[in-house]
């Protein structure tokens, strides 16, 4: 029997239950993966809490790494024994699962299961944000929220390699040090400091070319007010709640701004996008340009504690469940 974390109703961390589930054999064009490590992501909280609706009961979780132990009819790209990982496929909080191959990729020997589970979703997000959503150029002033978080630490290291001037927003002194060690040039303690005022001070009144805002409701207007003319607001997460509806007319007097709300779902919706983004990410990690910080590990049966710590802003970098 396989163990998994299932959610039976929307609510706090306590609604997650460690239960027996049936896995079965892979269907045509599916593989079965014996999972070794599973990544924790903020989107798991949105599904568990009801911010993003799901059917019940559901196995939550969106990324993991492991070994293929069976392949379904018609699968030619993978075989039993392949080390693999995937991002953005619901149902990851489990010891084993069957799944379609669209988002499954083979792992190079140099990337461990733990590192893969810590970076597939967060690293591919950093990749599309920096290279597709807004193409960061040398010398760009950029604003990164939750700079010491899972996506944040990867985004900052990679943006530094691109030559950006990075302003990181963090919630504690310890996170400020970590963000600086991972590429941030300037820090805003955004629990206490006014973000647009500090951005204007740091950039000599110019503002930032792009704001990577994962906080949502609490910071949306501050991000718009921190942008330079023609700047891009990338609202890509809701850690503080969903952004309230707004009048696009406000973007004109603030400097003909652009606003986008991207998701890794679209950026991994074809095999080409998955392979292109993954190659880029694996190259960045194996070359040492980007280091994956696995700063917390939990047994998967302790998922409730991990969610509580993530929501209480206690974690930094990536968090991985071991199996």
On the CB side of 252, CA atoms within 13 Å amount to: 3
* Interaction pattern, residues 294-313, with ligand NAP; x per rule: CB under 6 A: ----------------xx-x
Decide: 105 and 89 in contact? Cβ < 8 Å: no
Decide: 311 and 24 in contact? Cβ < 8 Å: no
Q: Which of 29, 118, 123 is nearest to 75 (CA)?
A: 29
272's tokens:
């080409």
Which listed residue (71, 264, 292, 303) binds ligand NAP by CB under 6 A?
A: 264
> Of the ranges 4-12, 48-56, 167-175, 250-258, which one interacts with ligand NAP (CB under 6 A)?
167-175
Residue 148 makes contact with ligand NAP by CB under 6 A = yes
d(CA 257, CA 235): 13
Which listed residue (16, 75, 84, 239) binds ligand NAP by CB under 6 A?
A: 239
Decide: 65 and 143 in contact? Cβ < 8 Å: no
> Of the ranges 10-18, 27-35, 93-101, 142-150, which one interacts with ligand NAP (CB under 6 A)?
142-150
Structural element, H or E, at residue 200? helix 195-202
Q: Is 174 exposed, middle or buried (0-12, 13-18, 19+ CB in 10 A)?
A: exposed
Which listed residue (7, 42, 281, 290) binds ligand NAP by CB under 6 A?
A: 42
Which listed residue (125, 141, 223, 232) binds ligand NAP by CB under 6 A?
A: 125
Q: How far is the CB of 100 from ligand NAP (least distance, A)?
A: 20
d(CA 201, CA 117): 38
Which listed residue (61, 66, 123, 171) binds ligand NAP by CB under 6 A?
A: 171
Residue 157 makes contact with ligand NAP by CB under 6 A = no
Residue 99 makes contact with ligand NAP by CB under 6 A = no
Residue 315 makes contact with ligand NAP by CB under 6 A = yes
- Applying the rule CB under 6 A, the residues between 43 and 82 that interact with ligand NAP are 43
Cα 232 to Cα 134, 228, 312, 321: the distances in Å are 7, 9, 29, 35
Binding region for ligand NAP (CB under 6 A): 41-43, 121-122, 125, 146, 148-152, 170-171, 175, 214-215, 236-240, 262-264, 310-311, 313, 315
């Amino acid at each position: 029997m396989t163990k998994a974390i299932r959610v039976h109703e929307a609510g706090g961390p306590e609604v997650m239950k460690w239960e027996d589930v049936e896995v079965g054999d892979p269907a045509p064009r599916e593989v079965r993966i014996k999972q070794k490590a599973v990544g924790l992501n903020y989107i798991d909280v949105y599904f568990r809490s009801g911010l993003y609706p799901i059917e019940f009961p559901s196995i939550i979780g969106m990324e993991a790494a492991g070994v293929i132990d069976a392949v379904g009819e018609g699968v030619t790209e993978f075989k039993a024994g392949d080390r693999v990982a995937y991002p953005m496929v619901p149902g990851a909080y489990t010891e084993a699962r069957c799944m379609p191959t669209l988002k499954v990729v083979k792992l190079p020997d140099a990337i461990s299961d733990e590192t893969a589970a810590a970076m597939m979703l967060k690293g591919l997000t950093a990749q599309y944000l920096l290279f597709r959503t807004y193409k960061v150029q040398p010398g760009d002033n950029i604003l990164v929220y939750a700079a010491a978080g899972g996506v944040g630490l990867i985004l900052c290291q990679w943006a530094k390699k691109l030559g950006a001037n990075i302003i990181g927003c963090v919630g504690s002194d310890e996170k400020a040090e970590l963000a600086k060690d991972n590429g941030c040039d300037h820090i805003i303690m955004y629990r206490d400091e006014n973000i647009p005022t500090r951005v204007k001070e740091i950039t000599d009144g110019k503002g930032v070319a792009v704001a990577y805002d994962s906080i949502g409701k609490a910071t949306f207007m501050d991000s718009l007010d921190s942008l330079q003319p023609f700047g891009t607001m990338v609202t890509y997460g809701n850690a503080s709640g969903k952004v309230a509806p707004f009048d696009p007319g406000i973007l004109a007097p603030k400097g003909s701004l652009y606003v986008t709300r991207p998701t890794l779902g679209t950026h991994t919706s074809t095999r080409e996008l998955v392979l292109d983004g993954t190659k880029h990410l694996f190259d960045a990690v194996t070359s040492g340009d980007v280091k994956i910080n696995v700063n917390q590990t939990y047994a998967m049966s302790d998922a409730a504690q991990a969610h509580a710590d993530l929501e209480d802003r206690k974690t930094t970098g990536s968090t991985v469940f071991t199996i």
